[in-house]
Amino acid sequence: MEDAWPVDDAELVKRATLEYLDARGLNPAAAILRSATLHLKEYYLPDREWPEAGASLLLPATELPKAEAFFAEVEGNLTAAMNMAMKSLHTAGQLQGRSRELIEPPSLLQSTPAISNSPPIGDDDTLWEAGHFRLFVSHAAVGKETASQLKSCIGNYYVDAFVAHEDIEPTKEWVDSIEKALWTCDAMAAVLTPDFPQSKWTDQEVGFARSRGALIVPIKRGIDPYGFIARYQALAGHGVSPQQLAIKLCEVLFTQTSTAGKMTAPVVSAFAGAHSFADAKQKMDFLERAPSFTPPQLEELMAAVRDNKQVEYATFVPERVKALVEKHR
């Protein structure tokens, strides 16, 4: 399970690591780190008490080939220095993250003009539906239909899916809109079709989301997850309807630490507006997986039983709501 790490921590770790490398004369490793933007994330493993860290180094296109040529020679020194820096900063209470060391050596990623290293300035209301979970759907040409159908179905669960060929107005710059969506999305779904690796955009989109620490959910439509997302369990994209795929994806978003909180509020609202007994039961299934609720959300659930007949008369749903409210109060 993977969560984002505060940006300020990355800057502290980078500075402390450079101090270690410079003091020991490890100039090649220091040169790579000095040229890169450092991104950190935390992995919560079921058999470990403390989370472990992962790191990505974003380098300009002109610097990446040079770094790759000798990275194998310096990654040990770089990893050791970063671990020393994190442990020292953690002991001093200067890090917001809980990790003490890297789970693996840092990875090298390309930073291109198409995707900058700082968030775009401006309002993002034109890209996202207010009050919805923000899902970026990365796809190549063959996955276009799947992405469009997913967008249509997952909206029923208060998830707004950004699909570039539908959501970018012809008068806007594509790169700017894609970059803005990547910076502001809550998670990414990657539709893995055979042409996905050949796209000029998809690997960059996935790499960018990973560097932010955003959850990435692969959807297998002809190929397995590869590269940096090979570790993620993919959802089956073949043999399921768009509606079934949307439900499976929502289940993942609702149970992961990094996305559960942002999914809860929209699903509470969707449950309150349930339009049938079956709809109320289905959304109740999601709600029972939620890790926590705010007091106003619990009140909204009780009000739904009182005010919405589709909730009130759905078999066992009022009882389940009562049990849920008592559990979280």
Residue range 31-74, pLDDT digits in tens: 888 888 887 776 555 555 566 677 778 777 667 777 788 788 88
- Taking alpha carbons only, the member of 122, 196, 135 closest to residue 167 is 135
pLDDT for 224 equals 92
pLDDT for 170 equals 46
The pLDDT tens digits of the residues spanning 134-158 come to 999 999 989 999 999 999 999 888 8
pLDDT for 27 equals 86
Q: Which residues contact 283 (CB under 8 A, 6 or more apart)?
A: 157, 267, 270, 271, 274
For the chain, report the end-to-end CA distance as a whole number of angstroms. Answer: 27
Instruction: Evaluate if residue 23 carries a pLDDT over 80.
Output: yes
Which range is least confidently modeled, 57-66, 111-120, 254-263?
111-120
The pLDDT tens digits of the residues spanning 169-189 come to 544 567 778 888 999 999 999
pLDDT for 98 equals 64
Give me the residues paired with residue 60 across strands: 111
Looking at residue 227, the DSSP 8-state letter turns out to be G
CATH number for the domain running over 133-255: 3.40.50.10140
Name the residue ranges covered by the structural domains of the chain.
2-111, 133-255, 257-328
Give me the residues paired with residue 215 across strands: 187
- Provide the token pair at 175: 């790169």
Q: Mean pLDDT throughout 87-112?
A: 73
pLDDT for 97 equals 66
Angstrom CA distances, 161 to 73, 266, 321, stand at: 42, 14, 28
Q: Mean pLDDT throughout 6-31?
A: 82
Report residue 321's pLDDT band, with 50, 70 and 90 as the boundaries. Answer: very high
The pLDDT tens digits of the residues spanning 186-231 come to 999 999 999 998 887 888 888 888 878 889 999 999 999 988 788 7
- State the residue for tokens 């034109």: 126
Report residue 133's pLDDT band, with 50, 70 and 90 as the boundaries. Answer: very high
pLDDT for 168 equals 55
- State the residue for tokens 């709501």: 321
Residues of the chain with pLDDT > 70: what percent? 84
pLDDT for 271 equals 92
Q: Which residues contact 14 (CB under 8 A, 6 or more apart)?
A: 33, 38
Q: Mean pLDDT throughout 234-242?
A: 91
Where do runs of H (alpha helix) occur along 155-291?
A: 164-167, 174-184, 202-212, 242-255, 257-272, 277-287
